[in-house]
Structure 1
């Protein structure tokens, strides 16, 4: 076994950043003022901050990119940033496990892994999050044969509430490891994450608009036959935009399929998805009556294209137009009917929704608090532009998805409480008992955890 280490954890800043006590999440939905804010640059500093805060009965919360739509990262106590504790720690060339510091952004990982010829097996459509925050909230990509990021975790290094530091994996502290892979920030501060990687690969992408009814009719079969299939739908348009991704074998270059050009990336990422979406959403917020026509325009803006690119360039899309989001994972077999139920809900209420609905899939996994725990899943996400009221729409959609045994994304807006989660997750009470053991004084508590785990 060989280990290759890179000292990339130190910030390139010439002076430490001064963190403000005021904080707002990415969408602007959540804002708070903490008593203290700190950006530790070492594991020792993290330990000292946790011990000091605990001794002062000051709750501690680590915030990554603030990309969660709810208040999972909010605190009135000590807010800890890990922006100055990031980078690649080591790569095991035989097992292909790469270990990253907790503050490493997903957007940095492709560049860190490139010299080793490795990549993450799958990614979501945003790469702004930190690796610790992404696994702690259940970030996922698409593909019925692929899990979310939490199930790719092979080891963790955690600062516990008493200041002790543990390394855990399937052999060392396995009872902590299996839950801490998706631990909601309730079990400790994750300072290192070991991720199972795969050889770097390229992807052939095929994208285009199709009749919505045909997409719904065939989506389950397509998901079984293709590596990754996603569709987005702007209600009440009768067409959906479908993205189908095929993972290429090493050295494979499909004949006649061009590489993703810089112009194409700019046109789709900046002009269509950001500038165009932002303009149309702003118009829709001011004049809701024209939203149906606007959504027809949005559907028509997305053209057919086929290209080949490195995996992260295909999976990830730029997200500059800010919105709020609800996402639930429902059993794969029930997913299409759940989408149809939402379609009927929007039609019956004559709602003018300027942001699309997105549908993806994921493989069952063994992470106890994963939304895809022990079942193949279909993820259904609904969005609203940040300047539009979302309460009625999101509340009604939640009721629909709960009827389909849906589990809400931990990092997105939802209304569920601890008793409801206990019904959805077979091992929920085990997680709560572990939290009671590791953090009896609730050093890592906040209002969000009080709601979803109980006090």
Structure 2
């Protein structure tokens, strides 16, 4: 009748990542698995024991310690926990893989880790139904035997499916919307309902719930549209800024997926395109990369050995080499310029083609621990960009390199997507709309706390200030998982006013108040920028 399990962190982070997790001695709870027991009898905890759980997000930029941490394994347990917290007005923030740079899933008052609900429930036709804690990589593997895959991918595949859609994660491609657009059905556990509720596309609330930021209910099950599994031909090449600007319209039309990587203080833009293999109908196989791996890495290794002749670089990958180089002096402008030039040369030696399943080439190395901020803004239609994408980049780079001389780490990544029907998506807009996503980055290449603080101050100060200023005339909206707490009251007010204009916040908060009357699912960041639904006029 009862299942016993302990609070612990399981599968919270990919084992290969650097983020550390520490968990104190676990208290033990008992959850009733019987549907015949009244909700208020389904959760029993020994209040004499104290549990503390400390989590660090993947970026290494946010940590949280809580004494209220649940890790259910069934929908019934989620229902019981939500109802318990509702009665006691206990914060219960849904938490995915802790990959969000701003730790949007963290709340010191209480968290619900969804990793235990990771079943692939069924594959029917070209749709897959999964529990929200299933990782993207798990879903992709499960779809292989059905010759299916997901329509698009973000840069990494260790996100949980619930978190992936709730924050509006995206890939790249002018005709491809963010991942939330492909959801056909959701199952939510809300504080206002003792049992999970199912919401379909026909429901008028559906497009508010798909990017719900975890505020409308705990997503426990997702049904998503799939596409036939396919191989992509990836082409990586380096062009000048002039060519990147002049040919963006041509390349957006020509390629199914495309992203730019601008390398500050160089005239190099790395272009990565992906197209179905069928595009080469004559059967010809494009030329692969012509340089050996040793030759590709030579510019990075030469600079590293110049800086430290005794360094052991055996086995280092690209991201590790970049971290090792930057760590010598990550805020020194001249040093960062040298590192960026070496990176540009690495990419020139990495030009070429490769053919892989779509899920392998649409993921890429995001580097080590880092600060990152990404914004989204409209840039015309799927038929023709209106030039906002290139005007934004020119203005951003001008300020970085000339006006402010910011020690900007490489790359500045630019991607594109179609509009999302989700009302809270940064890419929400007309069905034929085109949006550009631009992300800046500052790596945290060492464990030196003083250095990390200095990088943080630079990034959250002058760098983000400039990005914010550039984005204003373009109506640039932050990615929800990368929006940090405003540093001043004036910035907070500006952000609140902008969000009220950009999103249907009154409608969203009214639904929050209905589904979560005691506001237990939000955290201080979301209450600050969105408002507390209990205070609606």
Normalised by the length of structure 1, the TM-score is 0.90
Offset from partner CA, 1:106-161 (integer Å, 9 cap, x none): 12221110011100111111112111001011100000010010101111011001
1:301 paired to 2:346: yes
Residue in 2 aligned with 1:346? 400
The match for 1:363 among 384, 405, 418 is 418
Asked if structure 1 preserves the Cα contact closer than 8 Å seen for 2:180 and 2:420, the reply is no
Alignment match, 2:196: 165
Pairs within 5 Å for 1:204-353: 204-249=233-278, 254-257=283-286, 273-285=318-330, 287-302=332-347, 303-332=350-379, 333=386, 334-347=388-401, 348-353=403-408
Partners of 1:205 and 1:307 within 8 A in 2: yes
Contact 2:216 2:516 in 1 (8 A): yes
Distance 1:354 1:439 in 2: 42
- What do the CA deviations read for 1:222-260 (whole angstroms, capped 9, x no partner)? 112211111111211111111011123499684123789
The answer to whether the 8 A contact 1:187-1:435 is kept is: yes
Cα 1:404/1:250, change in 2 over 3 Å: closer
Change beyond 3 A, Cα 1:250–1:286:
closer
| Alpha-carbon distance between aligned partners in 1 of 2:428 and 2:212, rounded to the nearest angstrom | 14
- Cα distance in 2, alignment partners of residues 191 and 301 from structure 1: 43
What SS is found at the alignment partner of 1:151? helix
Which residue of 2 is the match for residue 88 of structure 1? 120
Residue 322 (structure 1) shift: 1.4
- Give, in whole Å, the separation in 2 of the partners of 1:169 and 1:253: 43
Whether contact under 8 Å (1:101, 1:193) holds in the other structure is yes
Instruction: State which structure, 1 or 2, has the greater radius of gyration over its C-alpha atoms.
Output: 2
1:410 alignment partner in structure 2: 480
Task: State the Cα distance separating 1:190 from its structure 2 match.
Answer: 0.4
CA drift of 1:300 comes to 0.7
Q: Does 1:400 align with 2:470?
A: yes
How far apart are the structure 2 equivalents of 1:169 and 1:320? 37
Counterpart in the other structure of 1:381: 439
2-structure distance, mates of 1:198, 1:253:
24
Residues 73/331 of structure 1: CA separation in 2 closer, same or farther (3 Å cut): same
CA contact (8 A) 1:106 1:131 kept: yes
Shift of 1:211: 0.8
Q: Contact 1:71–1:448 at 8 Å: present in 2 too?
A: no
Q: What is the distance in 2 between the residues matched to 1:419 and 1:432? A: 15
Structure 1 380/286 Cα, relative in aligned 2: closer, same or farther at 3 Å? closer
Residue ranges of structure 1 left out of the alignment (5+ in a row): 1-13
Q: Determine which of 440, 446, 449 is the counterpart of 2:523.
A: 446
Change (3 A) 1:114 1:253: farther
Higher RCO structure, 1 or 2 (CA under 8 Å, sep 6+): 1
Post-superposition CA distance 1:87-120 (Å, at most 9, x none): 2111112xx1101111111122211100111001
Instruction: Note if contact 1:278-1:321 (Cα within 8 Å) is conserved in structure 2.
Output: yes
SS of 1:158 mapped into structure 2: strand
Equivalent position of 2:143 in the other structure: 113
Select the residue among 192, 209, 224 that pairs with 2:221: 192
Provide closer, same or farther for how the CA distance between residues 252 and 164 of structure 1 changes in structure 2, counting only shifts above 3 A.
farther
Change in Cα spacing, 1:442 to 1:15, as seen in structure 2 (3 Å) is closer
Q: 1:299 to 1:42 in 2, by over 3 A?
A: same
- Whether 1:150 and 2:197 are equivalent positions in the alignment is no
Question: Following TM superposition, by how much is the alpha carbon of 1:451 offset from its aligned partner in structure 2, in angstroms?
Answer: 2.0
Say whether 1:18 aligns with 2:8. Answer: yes
CA deviations over 1:26-47 (Å, ceiling 9, x no partner): 1121111122111100001111
Segments of 5+ residues of structure 2 without an aligned counterpart are 10-22, 24-52, 298-314, 380-385, 445-451, 487-491, 533-537
Q: Residue 183 in 1 paired to residue 183 in 2? A: no
Aligned in 2, Cα 1:90/1:220: closer, same or farther, shift over 3 Å? same
Shift in CA distance, 204/63, structure 1 to aligned 2, threshold 3 Å: same
Which of 303-312 and 432-441 deviates more? 432-441
Q: Is the 8 A contact 1:201 1:250 kept in 2?
A: no
SS at match of 2:377: strand
Q: Deviations over 1:238-294 (max 9, x none)?
A: 11111011123499684123789xx97xx89x8553222222232342644311111
How many aligned positions are there?
A: 433
Tell me how large the CA RMSD over aligned residues is. Answer: 2.3
Q: Normalization by structure 2: what TM-score?
A: 0.76
